[in-house]
Amino acid sequence: MSAALTLISSMATRHLLAALAQAHAQAGAPATHLQSLGGVDAARRVQEGEAVDVVVLASDAIAKLLAAGCLRPGSVRPIADSSMAIAVRAGGTPPDVSGEAALRATLLQARRIGYSTGPSGTALLQLFEQWGLAGTLKDRLVQARPGVPVGQLVADGEAEIGFQQFSELMDVGGITMLSMPPELDIVSRFSGAVAASAAQPAAAQALLDFMASPATAALKRQHGMRPVPALH
């Protein structure tokens, strides 16, 4: 029997990757040992040469690791897209976030705004910059600790409103989830690649090919993400 593959990822995809790895193993492939941690720490460990077979992170982080020679050329596969959602505490009257102007007004009234260390957090800060509100909102921002969903900050009262990928918020209790205004839909793409340090590069590539295949679309939706659209 082949040795288990090792996969390192950010926290945002951990539930989906566990389900995909299990489905792959049930089809007769090697088992996968999944390590999920903060994306910055995961990328650092790969860059330092830690022996892993597969890396799944936000696409921009994968691109940087590829450019640094930490990943095998030609091995990158897009895994899933994840839209940002809004969390507010359950039980209250949801704020108006129906459009860009309404969301801006809601944020200007909020005393504490939760956001993540991941790609959705970066995108949110860029949005505030575009609005010219970065300075105004700076002292109201509460960044979730690595491994803590932003929704938990909202449920615990540490933030009035929070922003993170839908997949990270969908299982958090004590919150109500709202959609971003359609014109402000922020999508994070997660991709995978075979690590340059991979002990089993062929098996690692087979796992990634499976994770990127159309056969996994239902699992991705089940975990609050969606398949990456095919290029035409």
Residues 93 and 172 in one domain: yes
Q: Which of 221, 165, 142, 126 is nearest to 39 (CA)?
A: 165
Residues 107 and 200 in one domain: no
* pLDDT tens figures, 77-105: 999 999 999 999 999 899 999 999 999 99
CATH number reported for the structural domain that contains residue 105 in this entry: 3.40.190.10
Task: Look up the domain containing 67 and give its range.
Answer: 5-81+189-222
Residues 171 and 88 in one domain: yes
Residues 75 and 107 in one domain: no
Q: Is residue 228 part of a domain?
A: no
Q: What is the pLDDT of residue 63?
A: 97
Q: What is the pLDDT of residue 120?
A: 86
Q: Is residue 231 part of a domain?
A: no
Copy the structure tokens of residue 182: 């359609």
Domain tally, the chain: 2
Q: Is residue 133 part of a domain?
A: yes
Residues with Cβ within 8 Å of residue 29, at least 6 apart in sequence:
203, 206, 207, 210
Q: Which residues of the chain have pLDDT under 50?
A: 232
Copy the structure tokens of residue 206: 């087979």
Q: What is the pLDDT of residue 38?
A: 82
Residues 113 and 166 in one domain: yes
Residues 56 and 92 in one domain: no
* pLDDT tens figures, 128-163: 999 999 999 999 999 998 778 899 999 999 999 999
Sign of CA dihedral 16, 30, 65, 211: negative
Name the β-bridge partners of 78: 191
* Burial degree of 194 (CB within 10 A; 0-12, 13-18, 19+): buried
Residues 96 and 121 in one domain: yes
Residues 96 and 171 in one domain: yes
Q: Is residue 106 part of a domain?
A: yes
φ and ψ of 214, to 5 deg? -60, -25
Q: Is residue 214 part of a domain?
A: yes
Residues 161 and 129 in one domain: yes
Q: What is the pLDDT of residue 230?
A: 78
Residues 101 and 180 in one domain: yes
Q: What is the pTM of this model?
A: 0.88
